[in-house]
Amino acid sequence: MAEENAAKKVTIEEIAGALGVSKTTVSRALSGKGRISQATRDRVRAYLASTGAAPAVRGAGAAVQATHNLAMVIPGHFVHLDLPFLRKSMGGICTVAAQRGYDLLLCYVEASDTSQLERQLANRKMDGVILSRTIQDDPCIELLRQYKMPFVAIGRTEDGAVFQADNDQVGAAREMTRLLLQLGLRRIALLTGSTTYYVNADRVQGYLQALAEFDLRPDPHLVRTGIESSAQRTDALELVLERRPDCLLCGDDRLTMDVCMDLQARRVRLPEDMRVASLYDSELISRLHPAVSAVQFNAEALGEMACRMLLDLLAGKEVPQKQVLGHQVILRGSTQYARHGLHN
């Protein structure tokens, strides 16, 4: 019986279900990190003691057979979107992984549901993980640490212990905003997604820094964040157009394309009635008419760099904590300076 109990494993999800708490709470109780009460920690430990089980996590120093698989963690809602960044960065990861004899698994997570990642970790499906996006208070990071899984994040995080492959999003947003200001535009509206994603928070910071360089005070009515749905986009666009901006600066290519379609439906002409620019370039907007001014990043090279960092970690090599790639601002027809008033 003792041997059976010693071999018995229970997942974090099973513990959470039995105790009626979240998986994050269980993970924190087991790791000893995070803000939870001592009473909750004691409940988790008491449950494990009563069942004679051990959490199914990778123990320190445990011998684990290599799978030659890597996993890329992707926010679940991305599967419904055509995102060139994701496709290109994934291509870069696959190229480097294949060169070193590894395959790539995909893992979809939501803010409140990391069960697929936990299942892959518990079943030891991979040797390392690449996070495709960085968000504040990401439960994936704590889960990966709990399982002692090597990982690299694409994007910035304030956790200095995380290995990061990133673009200079603050610098890129600052440069694009500065160029628009140099064109004579002064009422530049910023439309972007949730600032729980570090990339969007950085874009806002760069935009504000450029305004400060020109001694311009930001108009809070022209800064709209948290745009994650078509309804939110419609509301944000309606509100900023009421403030009569002379340019719409959008956080990414998908949002830019949708905004351009909305403007077309309103019979607002680009660039005669409104200028539009994007903080991420892709074929979604470079093929519009007029083509949209944008910040150009090499997403494939970013994926390659993240994968190379992870594989070097797995090989025991010394890896820089953070590596950053450059960018280029491309000015196109959508920001030519000509204004004849908005069409309502």
Q: Choose between 343 and 268: higher pLDDT.
A: 268
Report how far apart, in Å, the C-alpha atoms of 22 and of each of 27, 40, 43, 100, 154 are. 9, 11, 13, 38, 26
List pLDDT tens digits, range 32-74: 655 678 888 878 877 877 776 666 554 433 445 789 999 999 9
Which residues, including other chains, have CB under 8 Å from residue 70's CB and lie 6 or more apart? Answer: 93, 97, 102, 103, 104, 105, 126, 127, 128, 129, 130, 307, 310, 311
pLDDT at 75: 86
Amino acid 110: pLDDT: 84
Contact present, 318 and 163 (Cβ < 8 Å): no
pLDDT mean over 218-226: 97
Higher pLDDT: 185 or 3? It is 185
Q: What is the mean pLDDT of residues 211-215?
A: 98
Tens-digit pLDDT profile for residues 253-288: 999 999 999 999 999 999 999 999 999 999 999 889
**pTM > 0.85: yes or no:** no
pLDDT band, residue 27 (cuts 50/70/90): confident
How many Å apart are CA 313 and CA 224, to the nearest integer?
A: 39
